[in-house]
């Protein structure tokens, strides 16, 4: 692709929740050796949504700085990726569209395929910009991951939203062709409509993920992609941060490379910093990894970055991005640090109370306690309608 027709990520912003549960609290409650969390799965804390916080408020909070910097004139499409959908019909993005005051001449749609959905949204956005180079597309990935209390998956919970502005002549990352694709019908993780929390077969999910890594890379190389040693770093989906290490080790093994632990750490280490303290953010996870890499790394100008997006069930994609000259001038390092540092720690009892809280389904008037301090909140459920407020 000629530089004049480059399309990719022009801006990136993320938001996370009002509260955080340190894994030391969880370990103290259930008697787990803390090393199982800190070292075994690579997690130190998890973001916990307040009573008046959900994927809409997180998505709006992530996208607001993008809108403030770039305006709305060129945004004609919003694609909202989530697997924590709040409605079977209406896109969560429509609420965000309203909260942000976007023009009515906008298409808004929600995409779902487990944790892979944001990558589908990114690729669809690139196609729209190819068709109309003056258009910008706002991609929002927002999720609150939730497992049953005292279940094996509980320690991997988390919540965050990432907003990507997709544009020609991007300021951060040019997305390159081709992509490696892989789909297999696997029951490794799923959430039926009648359940609030997901069902997961942990060992099956790890095996399915690694098979998808192998499958996407095989297709990527057959499509004429870069050689493995041309990449400076790799952003993997991180259901827990040690999974990025496992995935990269598997990619090296199946490609005939040595699996030196220092090489693996160099390839993925910087991408895990935010996920380690936020937890699994599902669709946002890969791009939270990208944010951590860009915010921490020495100059990556001109370097190729590999992306492996995996969504249980399962669909995966491997693609490459090239870091654009001058990208560091457009980063939001301070804001991203503040999003993480501003969270209020919870004790285990307060966390459990939030985890078990749910709205009655009677259509009555159910206001939410005002726990958040950000610009957007879920104010009530009234007449089966979600009522949002902008402060």
Active-site residue set: 83, 115, 237
Contact 133, 22 (CB under 8 A): no
Which of 251, 242, 284 lies closest to 116, judged by CA?
Answer: 284
The residue behind tokens 């910097």 is 69
Tell me how far apart the alpha carbons of residues 347 and 26 are, in angstroms, rounded to a whole number.
Answer: 9
The residue behind tokens 């030196």 is 260
Residue 149: both structure tokens together: 């209390």
Q: What is the DSSP letter of 314?
A: T
Tell me how far apart the alpha carbons of residues 267 and 285 are, in angstroms, rounded to a whole number.
Answer: 17
Contact 79, 139 (CB under 8 A): yes
Give the alpha-carbon dihedral of 72, 75, 77, 83, to 10 degrees: -60
Q: Which strand ranges, in their side-by-side order, compose the sheet holding 376-382?
A: 365-367, 376-382, 385-390
């Amino acid at each position: 692709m000629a530089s004049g027709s480059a399309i990719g990520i022009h801006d990136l912003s993320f938001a996370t929740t009002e509260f955080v549960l340190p894994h030391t609290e969880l370990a103290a409650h259930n008697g787990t050796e803390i090393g199982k969390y800190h070292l075994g799965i690579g997690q130190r804390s998890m973001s916990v949504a307040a009573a008046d916080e959900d994927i809409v408020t997180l998505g709006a909070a992530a996208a607001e700085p993008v809108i403030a910097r770039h305006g709305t004139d060129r945004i004609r499409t919003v694609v909202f990726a989530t697997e924590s959908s709040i409605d079977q019909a209406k896109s969560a993005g429509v609420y965000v569209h309203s909260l942000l005051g976007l023009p009515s001449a906008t298409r808004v749609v929600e995409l779902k395929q487990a944790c892979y959905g944001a990558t589908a949204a990114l690729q669809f956005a690139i196609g729209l910009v190819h068709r109309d180079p003056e258009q910008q597309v706002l991609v929002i990935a927002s999720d609150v991951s939730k497992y049953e209390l005292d279940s094996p998956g509980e320690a991997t919970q988390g919540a965050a939203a990432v907003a990507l502005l997709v544009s020609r002549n991007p300021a951060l990352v040019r997305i390159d062709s081709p992509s490696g694709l892989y789909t297999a019908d696997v029951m490794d993780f799923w959430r039926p409509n009648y359940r609030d929390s997901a069902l997961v077969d942990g060992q099956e999910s790890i095996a399915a993920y690694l098979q998808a890594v192998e499958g996407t890379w095989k297709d990527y190389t057959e499509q004429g992609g870069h050689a493995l040693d041309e990449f400076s770093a790799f952003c993997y989906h991180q259901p827990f941060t040690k999974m990025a290490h496992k995935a990269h080790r598997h990619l090296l093994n199946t490609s005939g490379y040595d699996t030196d632990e220092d090489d693996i750490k160099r390839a993925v280490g910087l991408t895990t910093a935010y996920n380690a303290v936020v937890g699994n953010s599902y669709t946002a996870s890969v791009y939270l990894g990208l944010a951590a890499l860009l915010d921490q790394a020495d100059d990556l100008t001109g370097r190729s970055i590999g992306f492996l997006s995996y969504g249980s069930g399962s669909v995966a994609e491997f693609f490459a991005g090239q870091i654009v000259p001058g990208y560091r001038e457009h980063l939001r390092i301070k804001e991203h640090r503040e999003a993480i540092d501003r969270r209020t720690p919870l004790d285990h009892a307060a966390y459990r109370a939030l985890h078990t809280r749910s709205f009655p389904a009677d259509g009555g008037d159910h206001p939410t306690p005002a726990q958040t301090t950000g610009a957007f909140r879920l104010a009530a459920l009234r007449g089966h309608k979600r009522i949002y407020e902008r402060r």
